A and B are shown apart, each in its own frame.
Chain A
Amino acid sequence: MGSGARARGGAPSWGRLLVGALAAAALALVLAPVGVLMVRGVTQADVGAALASPFVRASMQLSLLTSAAALAFVVGLGTPAAYLLARTRFPGRGLVDALIDLPIVLPPVVGGLALLLTLGRRGPLGGALAWAGVDVAFTTAAVVAAQTFVALPFYVRAAKAGFQSVDRRLEAVSATLGARPWRTFRRVTVPLALPSLAGGAVVAWARALGEFGATIMFAGNAAGRTQTMPLAILDAMEADLNAAIAVAVVLAAVSLAVLVSFRLLARVGGRAL
């Protein structure tokens, strides 16, 4: 080891200690509560029994169903939007690009209220739907709408970055090889953007799964119809804390899995390009 390295390693300055201590505090702030939750879930609450209760099972089924439906909407609506934002120039593109991120910063409760005002019985869209005999507010469909609303920008962001990372010359070469735009999109653009698309989808799904504020405003908290897992935690807090902890542990575990898979996808993407 060189003398310079020894000097630096041997005499830690107060500044370095302070930076280290603050970083440790930040880490603890994030990890400690989750750690405590996990430990209590494993040692005190009977997670297995709680998960078997009909009340918890219903919320889990509903969460899986609605978040899957929301993900389908997010991918179906978000992919064309992301492609247009990544590949075309149109007037107001910058504005659209910025505004599509709005649900990320908008308080979910505000989003839920806005959805209610729009799609509720007296709203401009909801009125028309009600006339046609379709009620959205306070139904399972409202849960899906709320989840789609909050999750969409997470996917669009990632997908847009993914499309932008695809070398346009590859698409040009594909065209000279006789491939129409749709074939080029399927055979070249999507496979090369796939790590980003999948990463965005995973994060968007996690956001939909954890959705609370917009859902409770727009869909309410009816067991079996609109009570997803986060809402079930709220209800369970009053009746059975162990059930609340059990559901929370499941959500926390899913979140960890999402984090890990997102990192893995990012690494696969980095290697592929």
Chain B
Amino acid sequence: MIRIDCALTQGSFRLAPRLTVGTGVTVLFGESGAGKTLTLEAVAGLLTPDSGRITLDGRALFDAGQGLDVPPYERRLGYVVQNSALFPHLSVADNVAYGLFDLPRARRRRRVAELLRLLAIDDLADRKPARISGGQAQRAALARALARRPAALLLDEPFAALDEGAAAALRRELRRLVRDLGVPVLMVTHNLAEASYIGDRIAVMDDGQVLQEGERAEVLTRPRTARAARLLGIANVLAGQVVAARPAAVVRTAVGDLQSDRPAPPGGRAVQAALRADQIILTRPDRPTEPRPNMLTVEIQEEADFGHSLTLTARVLGAPADPAPTLEIQIAPHPYRVLGVAAHRRWRVHIPPEAVHVMPG
């Protein structure tokens, strides 16, 4: 387990991550410039914080109070960066063997063969890094990092430079590997889909701080702040006032009163309501429906077709606010065709109470 609680000031940027990384994959997610890579470098020992503590399995790697800063070569951490950073003058096998200098030759050779097999690159053993693909290089870099049986793995955007096919295959493999290894993995990414797929836990980082950390589903559906919600790709975040707090919150927003399935968070009456674009349900205006909460009438103004889904921008009609607010609605191609969305502009939408997430304002 890695515990990070340190701080570093670089010019006007202040890095102050607080995070605990247990077994499984913790994804450090955020925009570029949020301080994700710096955090990873601080854990690896490549960057010395000004203050605080970093521990690995209870042993201090860095402790400003005691003046302790374990050098990177004694931290026993596996570290993989975006474009693999394989040693260009060494073959794939020699790259993997690099960290095994204290093993006798025969054992070193066995361990390298085992790792090359594990990552399915045994046929590339004698190739130089310049003569293999990006995905193969990343496999080799992973094998090299695993060779010394690190106590934890640090991965910095390991798939960002790969084409989608190679990245998908490697993501699947990484999940399998991590399950078998049973070590903590801290992986940096700015790709939300990747974070959702690989992360057992997600830590949202912004401007040098960890905004929120928790189990994947919890973080993705229940961001703690409006900023976290935006970073996590929740398109609709509406400011509002709590008009009923319990048993289930009702929030007065620019699109009307929205009912949640949970009580309002403690704090003031001013709140933010997050509505995920993929949880808003379209129904035809001419179909009679039983009265339900959170029904709105909208008019579609724009469509963006992303292939696997469409994003509709819809103006809310009869809303109390002026100009009328808009909502983003995400819909899969199949219901889009079946419903005939292309032919009708005016729709009734239903927002299930469980899709209304209320955050402190």
| Chain A contact residues, CB within 8 Å of chain B | 167, 169-170, 172-180, 183, 187-188, 191-192, 272-273
Contact = CB atoms under 8 A, between A and B. Distances in A.
B99 A169 contact: no
Given A178-B99, A178-B101, A179-B101, A173 B89 contact: no
8 contacts: A176-B46, A176-B75, A177-B144, A178-B76, A179-B101, A187-B98, A192-B87, A273-B88
A143 to B, nearest CB: 37
A192 B72 CA distance: 21
Decide if the interface of chain B is mainly helix, strand, loop or mixed: loop
Interface string B65-81: 00000011111111101
A172 B99 contact: no
B304 to A, nearest CB: 38
B339 interface: no
A192 B88 CA distance: 8
Nearest to B144: A177
Nearest to A184: B73
Contacts of A183: 101
Contacts, number: 59
A175 B87 contact: no
Q: Enumerate the 4 nearest inter-chain pairs by beta-carbon distance, A residue then B residue, closest first.
A: A177-B99, A176-B79, A175-B72, A169-B85
A185 to B, nearest CB: 12
Interface string B125-161: 0000000000000000000110110000000000000
Contact of A167 (B71, B85, B98, B148): B85
Interface residues of B, number: 25
Contacts of B79: 172-173, 176
Given A183-B101, A187-B98, A176 B72 contact: yes
A174 B147 CA distance: 13
B34 interface: no
B258 to A, nearest CB: 49
B89 A175 contact: no
Given A176-B44, A179-B73, A179-B99, A169 B148 contact: no
Given A175-B46, A179-B101, A191 B72 contact: no
A183 B99 CA distance: 11
Nearest to B141: A173
B184 interface: no
B35 interface: no
Contacts of A188: 87
Contacts of A179: 73, 98-99, 101
B85 A173 contact: yes
Contact of A175 (B45, B88, B145, B147): B45
Interface in B63-111: 71-79, 81, 85, 87-89, 98-99, 101-102
Most buried by A among B71, B73, B77, B81: B73
- Among A167, A175, A177, A179, the most chain B Cβ lie within 10 Å of the Cβ of A177
A272 B89 contact: yes
Nearest to B128: A272
Nearest to B82: A169
Given A172-B44, A177-B144, 14 more contacts: A169-B85, A175-B46, A175-B71, A176-B44, A176-B75, A176-B145, A177-B145, A178-B99, A178-B148, A179-B101, A187-B87, A187-B98, A188-B87, A272-B89
Contacts of A176: 44-46, 72-73, 75, 77-79, 145
A273 B45 CA distance: 27
A175 B85 contact: no
A180 to B, nearest CB: 5
A210 B145 CA distance: 50
A180 B73 CA distance: 6
Contacts of A172: 44, 46, 72, 79
A173 B148 contact: no
Nearest to B147: A177
Contacts of A180: 73
Interface in B12-70: 44-46
B127 to A, nearest CB: 15
Contacts of B85: 167, 169-170, 173
Given A172-B46, A173-B79, A178 B73 contact: yes
Contacts of B102: 178
A183 B71 CA distance: 14
Interface in B242-261: none
Contacts of B145: 176-177
A165 B292 CA distance: 67
Which residue, of A170, A175, A180, A191, has the highest number of chain B Cβ atoms within 10 A?
A: A175
Contact of B89 (A174, A177, A178, A192): A192
A36 B90 CA distance: 47
